[in-house]
Structure 1
Amino acid sequence: MTRLSGATPSGRAQLGNYLGAIRQWAREGTDDDLYFVSDMHAMTTAYNPQRLRALSREMLAVLLGSGIKPERVFVQSDIASQLTALTWVLECTCTFGEVARMIQFKEKSAGAKTVRLGLLTYPVLMAADILLPGADEVPVGEDQAQHVELARALARRFNSTYGEAFVVPKAVTPKVAARIRDLAAPERKMAKSARDEAGVVFVLDAPDMIRRKFRRAVTDGFERVEYRPDEQPGVANMLEILSACTGQPPQDVADGIDSYRVLKETTADAVIEELRAVRNRTEDLLADPAELDRIRATGAERAAERGHHRLAAVTRLAGIG
């Protein structure tokens, strides 16, 4: 059984990405699973090409530095010729209404002066990502579940109209390892694309920077260290981070911490230690571009080989090629 997950380089990998997903991919992934840097997904809104290229390399290095096996990882654009060919076939299988009613398209296009066509058609590219390697399961949150349903519908429609070519995937709800909030604004989740980075801990932040961000973390006026997410979101966020790093329930890690200062220092220590090896391995890869390029090229070859026969079958059944 193949599971497929992707990480979009819309910003630098941050603590929430790592604790919430990447660490699980490294620990629990099987040899059949695939993880990719979805750099083409980052092109649906205005972007800087040089920054996108740099962020893509950094994200690839972070995935590898986190312990995901090189043979499971690739960069989306490295198999662009296959994906774009399949996307066109799927676009000719999809209807305008199916993509126009996507919730993310409605939210991101609302109030925008200009809307890129890619923002509308991106779910079809995502369907190609899923269907090309024959993914059985796609772990997604609620915001992406609708896109997986589109992939399922397109797979079924193509199979019934032209002939069996696709595995019909299913969306699965991943086990939630951590819901990390912004340290400076705990009412919102920590995001790699946040405009204000004061409350965002990045995987490659130096230990001193991590400690400074935790020392400035928003708390409250209660002066009590208890796990009360509704009443004390800032404190609860740090306890959840500490919980994710130690493997103990957030209620338990609060025991023995008698001040916000101690909470901030203890959580910073745990995060610094959690990220130490990942940061070191990632920085080593980024410092050796030839090795990173070699791993990337090998991953692209494996991904292309995996999708070759399915794309050939699809184009033949569709009457092209």
Structure 2
Amino acid sequence: MFRFGKLHRSLSKVAKKGQTAVYSQRRCIQARSFLPGLASRTAGTPSATAQVTGGNKQHVHPHGNSVNSGHEEHNTRWPRKVFSGIQPTGSLHLGNYLGAVRKWVQLQNARDDVTVCIVDLHSITMPHNPPLLRENIFTMAATLLACGIDPTKSTLFVQSAVAEHAEFNWILSSLTTMPRLAQLPQFREKSRLLKDVPLGLYVYPVLQAADIMLYKSTHVPVGADQIQHIQLAQHLARIYNGRYGETFPVCTAIIEDGDASRVLSLRDPSKKMSKSEANPKATINLCDSPDLITQKIKKAVTDFTSDITYNPGKRAGVSNLVNIHAQVTGQSIKTVVNEAATLDTAKYKDRVAEAVVEHLRPIREQIHHHMTKRNEMIYLLEVGAEKARQQARQTLNDVKQRLGLGTSANIPAAVHVAPLLPAPDISKTSASRRMSKDFDGNVHERHERMYGFGDQPSGGAGQSATGEVADMPQAVVPRVIRRAPIVPTQSMRVEKQLGSTRTRHVSRWTPAMLRI
């Protein structure tokens, strides 16, 4: 183990050899200094899981924009695996399809190892109706299949069908601190809608990290609002790897920052199209009928200028329609604007509605087809769950062995355990805390002083609940003098106003001492 002085001198010597050597030396020294359990390992040696799965192969994928590029070097030792989850909140809307699901299908067709999970455990963090949740699960599964998710190429399953998710969530919750969870903003946003906030709403980002890490995912397609949750998964992966040995890759977020991710609300173009939108006319659902889609687009908010231009900053409503039109037709925004040069806003809405209806027609038909064959859909989800369960069980067995859980004959490697904080010094406790503690310690005496009587347990004073008489000194309690209450009495007097023959009665309240 290096001391701080030796660490500083070693880094100063290596700094002359170049930045790459400094980075490697610093990582090696930090590993041996702060992780005694890993000091015996050879630096750079991949884990046993990485060796079995061929984690040294590099896989570079051309699709998607990834953030946290510093993790790419780490993830080259792991096979590329894409994981994404979606809550079963009914039918998907157009923004979900263009910004997320269509991206998953592209990754699947590019022969990536894609896992898509219907995260129903996340749905119960908010008040829900059980029959509606069950129906939404089937609707979501049918929608994903209709959009192009192929169970023969990808893994599609329901989260609650794999019990390892909840078990691994408990393990990761033991590594997570409450201040770290308090940094996440979505809890504050959703908790405003509830009178009684459930604990699951506070800790569900840990379950999200468990979903990702359980399958050793290297890439996670998410929206920009989920970046902090991905950072929590990265944080937990580093903590676990540093404490118990390298087991999980540090995942990388894939963010769709193109025009497909900017589908806005039809009624309020200042915010994105969302499933939680209160106005149903603001979203286009994939299951909507052609007439309903046309009606929603015709009532979309635009402006008073009839020309069709693309300027998201000044003409958000019209630009949103242009973007939707370009996405469903596969044309560029410039081509769409040029073709609509002779149209006003009303006629252009008809053209956009026609394009959206034609694009969603086969998807809507496939959704209805899968919903009529529910037994086949259940079978496909069970096959996907069994496929996911095998990998999840393998990962969780490795985690249990490293943590020392269970009754395996193999003894796990020892780790450095930080000492607990010392007990607080009573002498440094404030006077108010000591006073409140004394009062709580002798509640019967406090009641005797305040009210003139005490709450004695059954059996009389000095006798325990079991009937045994305890030898304890009787406290001398000063006699409490109870003051008599003051009860007001009313007296009447008669007054006569000048110039009037009528008299009036005036009430006068005087205190009188009334003893009870």
Shared topology, TM-score over 0.5?
Answer: yes
- For residue 129 of structure 1, report the CA deviation from its aligned partner: 0.3
Q: Gaps (5+ residues) in structure 1?
A: none
Whether 1:6 aligns to 2:85 is: yes
- For residue 172 of structure 1, report the CA deviation from its aligned partner: 2.7
Counterpart for residue 11 of structure 2: none
- Cα deviation digits, residues 231-256 of structure 1 (max 9, x gap): 22111111000011122222320223
Whether 1:141 aligns to 2:223 is: yes
Structure in which a larger fraction of residues adopt strand: 2
Counterpart for residue 103 of structure 2: 24
Name the SS of the counterpart of 1:139 in structure 2: strand
Task: Return the alpha-carbon distance in structure 2 between the equivalents of residues 111 and 210 of structure 1.
Answer: 29
Whether 1:174 aligns to 2:256 is: yes
Give 1:283's aligned amino acid: H
**Alignment partner for residue 373 of structure 2, among 285, 288, 300?**
288
Instruction: Decide which moves more: 102-111 or 38-47.
Output: 102-111
Whether 1:151 aligns to 2:208 is: no
Whether 1:208 aligns to 2:298 is: no
Could you tell me the TM-score, scaled by structure 2's length? 0.60
- For residue 309 of structure 1, report the CA deviation from its aligned partner: 0.7
Counterpart for residue 347 of structure 2: 262
- Cα deviation digits, residues 78-118 of structure 1 (max 9, x gap): 11x10011001101111111112212123222474221101
Give 2:96's aligned amino acid: N
- Cα deviation digits, residues 112-135 of structure 1 (max 9, x gap): 422110111001000100000110
Counterpart for residue 104 of structure 1: 186
- Cα deviation digits, residues 210-240 of structure 1 (max 9, x gap): 1111122122111111112122211111100
Number of residues of Structure 1 aligned to a counterpart in Structure 2: 320
Q: Deviating runs (4+, > 4 A) in structure 1?
A: none
Q: Gaps (5+ residues) in structure 2?
A: 1-79, 407-516
Name the SS of the counterpart of 2:148 in structure 1: coil
Conservation of the 8 A alpha-carbon contact between 2:107 and 2:114: no
Counterpart for residue 383 of structure 2: 298
Larger radius of gyration: 2
Whether 1:312 aligns to 2:393 is: no
Name the SS of the counterpart of 1:255 in structure 2: helix
Counterpart for residue 141 of structure 2: 60
Structure in which a larger fraction of residues adopt helix: 1
Instruction: Decide which moves more: 26-35 or 197-206.
Output: 26-35
Instruction: Decide which moves more: 54-63 or 70-79.
Output: 70-79
Conservation of the 8 A alpha-carbon contact between 1:11 and 1:193: no
Task: Return the alpha-carbon distance in structure 1 between the equivalents of residues 359 and 174 of structure 2.
Answer: 47
Whether 1:196 aligns to 2:279 is: yes
- For residue 175 of structure 1, report the CA deviation from its aligned partner: 4.7
**Alignment partner for residue 120 of structure 2, among 30, 33, 39?**
39
State the percentage of identical aligned residues: 38
Task: Return the alpha-carbon distance in structure 1 between the equivalents of residues 128 and 348 of structure 2.
Answer: 38
Q: Which has the higher contact order (CA 8 A, sep 6+)?
A: 1
Counterpart for residue 319 of structure 2: 236
Task: Return the alpha-carbon distance in structure 1 between the equivalents of residues 295 and 331 of structure 2.
Answer: 24
- For residue 148 of structure 1, report the CA deviation from its aligned partner: 1.1
Instruction: Decide which moves more: 104-113 or 133-142.
Output: 104-113
Counterpart for residue 252 of structure 1: 335
Conservation of the 8 A alpha-carbon contact between 2:91 and 2:143: no
